[in-house]
Chains A and B, each alone.
Chain A
Amino acid sequence: MRRLRHPVSAALMLLGVLIPLVPLVLWSFAGRWRYPGLVPQQGTLRGVRLLADPTSQVLAGLGTSVSIGAAVTLLSLAVGVPAGRALGLYEFRGRNLVRLLLVAPALVPGLAVLLGTQVFFLRYGLADTLAGVVLVQLVPTIPYVTLVMAGAYANFEVDYERQAALLGARPWQVQLHVTLPALRPALTVAAYFAFLISWSEYALTLLIGGGTVKTLPLLLYAYAGGPDPTEAAAVALVVMLPPLLLMALVVRGLSGRGGTLGLVRS
């Protein structure tokens, strides 16, 4: 164990995480980077210009991804928070079954289960639409919101709500002034998970959006298969930075919680 405490092991861990991102960042500003050069022979802002160029569709993709991410986050909170409350606060018959049902989509790969729903989305005119993509993305997000909130409600002192009600607060006032503030850290984490899952989703968006709903991951896939690594790397940075910045904000907002985001304790 003593050898393990050497500072080298921690440095190696961080290098292992950061090194794969080095060529990505370098490529996004590399005008010319021929083999076997270890660093680019020439810099460029071509990648940055591509992002602003309307024909590249990157800005439109950013808009699509943000809209879908916001809608999925809000809807999965609206659906998952009450479910988390039921699972966290109440003992009832069939609780384990409901929990298993609501957690299952986090375990079983979404594409495998949802491939069969394409006919359903086609029949109801939801295929190739933004609404259809939002709906299908709720399946992988609801389990995380429900789990995080069930954990938070299990530790929530429900007597505060009763006391506020006894003091004359209306139900919505109780929720707004008592429950919501007490659950804010969990709500933040749940919202972040929902947004991150939606933002990163590729296969379900392709399946239901049919390539018409072009989110950033779909654009990135197209550029990654294209001839220009500079363009692909620049788009990749646009896909990567928002969730990283949001994560930094969330971790800072929850500081003192060990930086684990309350991930598994719940």
Chain B
Amino acid sequence: MTGRRPRWVTIAALLTPAVTVVGVLFVGGLGLGVAQSFGYQPFLPDWDWSLDGYRALWRDPAVTASVGLTLRVAVVSTAVATVLGVAAGLRLHSLVRGRRTITAVFASTLAVPHIVGALAMVLLLSQSGLLSRFAHAAGLASTPADFPALTADGFGWGIIAEYVWKETPFVALVVLAALSGGIDELHGVARTLGAGPWQRLRHVVLPLIAPAVAAASVLVFAFSFGSYEVPALLGRPYPAGLPVVALQYQRDVDLNARPEAMAVAILIAVVVAAVVAGYLALIRRLSGRPL
């Protein structure tokens, strides 16, 4: 803004507030979490460094069962939301009339808090929910118990349904944005060269949107792996989602549960960080190389 200040002073002044907040709370929080997972307890007089928190992870059936559930839910939700989102994004892009309105309505779930979505899924999918009543009306079930348990179930169907409902429009918007840059011309060229619809999809459209879609699905995975309120409301107490286990142990009156709670939290962070790092490595390998 003022030409007299050295450039680095301006940059440092602009960055300091954000870097301070994120540095103290995010990096500092991660450090505190790691320290506590190894036994550091500032409010206990006789704490000691140990691996007990991590040892407890392997021995604790609540955690091992939770890892399976959480991974399954995150992988299935991400896969389904990505496939449906790409299809929906392509469909929205191909709309001629009413594209803006239809896109706006379709994207409206982005503004709905997950906790509302979770309650909506309970009222829709539970054994006395609306879907079960339609099954009754169709003669497929005579009592609520005849309807399969889709909420508070062992597999996590209700949790998956909520994530797919919320995240499919997100992926679709990412696809729309990726398509906004000159896809129609490429399409025209490919058609002139004699490419059929499937060839155009396979060799023109999908390579163009692949990086953005991959980034979006990493975000969906990270969210569905680390979110608390959806598995808390739609899942079972056992096995519960990993974030539910972490917060439950953290709030336990027994302070000896703290290191394990922190170890669960660090496990979540490490899994998500590994997936993000894998994505970044993939992008680096593919960038510059025509798909």
**Of A123, A244, A259, which is in contact with the most chain B CB atoms at under 10 Å from its CB?**
A259
A146 CB within 8 Å of chain B:
yes
The contact string, 1 if C-beta is below 8 Å from chain B, for chain A 157-177, is 000010001000001001100
CB contact under 8 A between A244 and B112, given known A105-B22, A116-B36, A251-B104: yes
B265 contact from A111, A138, A196, Cβ within 8 A: A111
Q: Is the CB of A109 within 8 A of B247?
A: no
CB contact under 8 A between A23 and B273, given known A113-B26, A244-B112: no
B204 CB within 8 Å of chain A:
no
Tally of contacts, chain A with chain B, CB under 8 A: 291
A57 CB within 8 Å of chain B:
no
Residues of A near B13 (CB, < 8 A) are: 82
| A261-B91 Cα distance, complex, nearest whole Å | 19
CB distance from A247 to the nearest CB of B (A): 4
The contact string, 1 if C-beta is below 8 Å from chain B, for chain A 244-255, is 101110010001
Q: Is the CB of A115 within 8 A of B11?
A: no
Q: Is the CB of A138 within 8 A of B21?
A: yes
Q: Is the CB of A108 within 8 A of B27?
A: no
B35 CB within 8 Å of chain A:
yes
Residues of B near A47 (CB, < 8 A) are: none
B262 CB within 8 Å of chain A:
yes
Q: Is the CB of A119 within 8 A of B36?
A: yes
The contact string, 1 if C-beta is below 8 Å from chain B, for chain A 26-64, is 010000000111100000000000000000000000000
Give the A interface residue count (CB, 8 A).
97
A236 CB within 8 Å of chain B:
yes
CB contact under 8 A between A118 and B177, given known A35-B132, A203-B243: no
CB distance from B158 to the nearest CB of A (A): 11
List CB contacts (< 8 Å) of B125-144 with chain A: 128-130, 132-134, 136-137, 144
B residues within 8 Å of A by Cβ?
1-2, 7-8, 10-11, 13-15, 17-19, 21-23, 25-36, 42-43, 88, 90-92, 94-95, 100, 102-124, 128-130, 132-134, 136-137, 144, 165, 168-169, 173-174, 176-178, 180, 197-198, 201, 212, 216, 218-219, 222-223, 225-229, 232-233, 243, 246-247, 250, 261-262, 265-266, 268-269, 272-273, 276
